[in-house]
Amino acid sequence: MMMDIPVKPADVTFTDAQWKAIWATGKDVLVSAAAGSGKTKVLITRMIEKVLSEHNPIDVDELLVVTFTNAAAAEMRHRMAEALEEAIAVNPDSIHLRRQLSLLNKAQISTLHSFCLNVVRQYAYLIDIDPGFRIADSTEAALLRDDTIGEVLEDAYNADNPEAMYRLADSFTSDRNDQSIETLIDRLYDYSRVHPSPERWLRMIPMQYELDEEVTIDELDFIGPLKT
């Protein structure tokens, strides 16, 4: 569905591409441009135009705006306030506009993380999480991870068929504790997290070792890069 966008007035400095991005509707829009080229300006103008719309005005707290950093969220909120004040100066009698300034306080303009945190907290009862949960700091998270790895290894040693675990230990530890295996698992976990499907990546690794008897070491996929 392609709607006609307003004709760009002669006195605005927006480029044609900016103007299109401000008014695009009925589809997803991706704006990619250099720093300082006017992305935030376009986004703020998009928001303002939705609030000012003659046919279908919305309230600022109906928008969801997420950023990566707190600083960017604060900037968005600040620039939205400025844009509203400019609009009020042009249109001082608008009750709708004045209401927006007070609604701005509870508008959903935040980092992605804090938005997600709010959603999880609000709907904690649906996913069976203690609503009093909090975010672990990195030290605490590292301790929890260590405990978990310890428990997983313990279970592997106590499993009905612990041979694989003993082979793993023989291959990767030289001493009496499993520290080097734990470090290895830690690193694998961290590496896996940068992939879009961490679990799939982890499951793929062992497949590189599923080889016919007659395959020589030089034929292995990962030997080339290692030798260069």
Ligand X SMILES: Nc1ncnc2c1ncn2[C@@H]1O[C@H](COP(=O)(O)OP(=O)(O)O)[C@@H](O)[C@H]1O
Binding mask 20-39 for ligand X (x = CB under 6 A): -------------x-xxxxx
Of 77 and 165, CB closest to ligand X: 77
The yes or no reply on residue 40 touching ligand X (CB under 6 A) is: yes
CA pair distance 8, 60, nearest whole angstrom:
24
The yes or no reply on residue 41 touching ligand X (CB under 6 A) is: yes
The yes or no reply on residue 14 touching ligand X (CB under 6 A) is: yes
The yes or no reply on residue 114 touching ligand X (CB under 6 A) is: no
| Minimum separation from the CB atom of position 43 to ligand X (A) | 8
Of 40 and 94, CB closest to Mg ion: 40
What is the identity of the amino acid at 108?
Answer: Q
Q: Rule CB under 6 A: choose which of 15, 111, 173, 192 binds ligand X.
A: 15
| Minimum separation from the CB atom of position 78 to Mg ion (A) | 12
* Structure token digits, residue 200: 């799939």
* Structure token digits, residue 63: 């928008």
Stretch that binds ligand X, among 12-20, 66-74, 91-99, 188-196 (CB under 6 A): 12-20
Report what 23 binds from Mg ion, ligand X, none; CB cut-off 5-8 Å by kind: none
The yes or no reply on residue 225 touching ligand X (CB under 6 A) is: no
Which residues face 109 on adjacent strands? 65
Residue facing ligand X at closest CB distance: 38
Of 40 and 114, CB closest to Mg ion: 40
Stretch that binds ligand X, among 8-16, 47-55, 104-112, 127-135 (CB under 6 A): 8-16
Task: List residues near ligand X by CB under 6 A.
Answer: 13-15, 18, 33, 35-41
